[in-house]
Amino acid sequence: MRLHRIIRGVLIIVAGFILWQGGAIAEEKSEFNPYVGIKENFLVNVGKRVAIRTESGDTLDGTIARVGDHNVHIAKLAGKDFYDAIVRIDKIESFTFRAR
């Protein structure tokens, strides 16, 4: 009976590790098309992490949640738990993304 508990515990740990690694592997790199605007590039990268630099020099690091006609919703801001941001697309100077 004790051996069964040990085996079950090891299997749970291994399964947890596999799921954890799967999440890291599942994170896809972002796509970029130089022939379209920032809004269209945001649309194809919804759900992926980016760092946005605004005209005022502020940098926001987070996940693209939604893209509207004039604004982009950045969720899960780095270093600011419980905060999201809405940024005007015409005020975005640049954005960086994971390419490799």
What domains appear along the chain, each with residue ranges and CATH number?
38-97 (2.30.30.100)
CA distance 51 to 27: 16
Q: DSSP character for 83?
A: -
pTM for the model: 0.66
Q: For 49-63, how does the pLDDT look when each residue is reduced to its tens digit (9 = 90+)?
A: 889 998 998 899 999
Return the closest-CA partner of residue 63 out of 73, 20, 24: 73
Q: For 1-36, how does the pLDDT look when each residue is reduced to its tens digit (9 = 90+)?
A: 677 677 776 667 766 666 655 554 445 566 677 788
Is residue 30 within 8 A of residue 98, CB to CB? The reply is: yes
